[in-house]
Structure 1
Amino acid sequence: MSSSVERDAARSLDQRRFDEWPASLRALFDGTSLASKIGFSASLITGDVGGHLRTSLLGIGELYAPDSRTLAFALWPTSRAARTLASPDHSVTHAAGYPVSHEAHAWAPRHDYRRAHAALTFVHDAAFYQVQLAVEPLQNAGVEGQDAAEAGSGLALFLASIDAGEIQQVGYARLTGGITFELSGDASGHKQVLDRWQRQLERLRKAAHARLAADGGGAA
């Protein structure tokens, strides 16, 4: 009997849901200790008006969590993902009934923002994560008097709230990595990349907190 129970446990899928970033992910997306996070990649999945799914890879220098239920991220403005997420034709408004899980999220219900669907997937701590996001462009976010895209050195900035998050693990195997990378070049080149990431994250941080403060939200 016990061996049968053990076999069933080994084969079982451990599937957990969350609507706030777990502590380990808040630490991952906190914009600090970037050198120790080199190699991490997350896949941002978007769907265009034609129903085609697109995947964009984001590194740790393009992801920042300003509070427990929010994620700010940066994309190249010419990318298909950026155009899709910024397109009014592809988005739906909160007032039209977008199914946002966090009605208490101060910045969500107060304004008729156009918001798009996206999913962020990645591997962390031997588990697979999939996070459904409600996304809006970070425009005119009041970053030192500049438009957010201008402040981001040409990057398009977005702010998303967690609609639903899911963690998956199985008992018979352990994920050893997702999509990972290593920096090319020498130590000087690595420093230049880390410095660029830090500048990007600082702009994301300022833009995200400016938007949340303007809309009555606060860091959680």
Structure 2
Amino acid sequence: MDSDKLQPIAVCHVVAMPYPGRCHVNPMMNFCKLLVSRKNDILITFVVTEEWLGYIGSDPKPGEKQIAEQCCHLKVLCHSSVGGFWTHCGWNSTLEAVYAGVPMLTFPLFLDQGPNSKQIVECWKIGRRVSAELGPENLVTRKQIAEQVRRFMDLESNEGKEMRRRARELHNVCRQGIAEDGSSTTNLDAFIRGISPGHGG
């Protein structure tokens, strides 16, 4: 998928990209159905592997389904029309969203996702957490989700403005870090020098 082909649209557009597993696809599908039921001018793009098309519980009309060979997660996040990212807080996805300057609505389930969510919400202050409880067995009601999404996407609130300002700030830090003379480059060069034969360290 070429992110340049995603044209800005007047309605709200949600791109859902669940990990291809039942515990990810089903909750994400239910979340998308909830959004559609609450807002009639919303466009949902639900991205799954071709194997999952027969299991998602719907039969798209001709023209509503498109199969792409691949989809670059980072390119989608970096597109100008993306206003937020619902995430389970895997570390790679977290770093990609920070690089893209996109605020996150976090829904951690297990392992490192809880600490990553805490980093996003409490330390970096670039997101909101959907539920205080951790684990796939903890259900979140439609009312809770609707309220969290409403607050998260409120671009006029002081909280929303500050969250997006911080996201832009961290985006700039990332861009500086990977520049030619940035910290990532200089640290990698220092590491290579340190393990090279003949180095005095």
**TM-score normalised according to structure 2 size:** 0.28
Larger strand percent: 1
Higher relative contact order (Cα pairs below 8 Å, separated by 6+ residues): 1
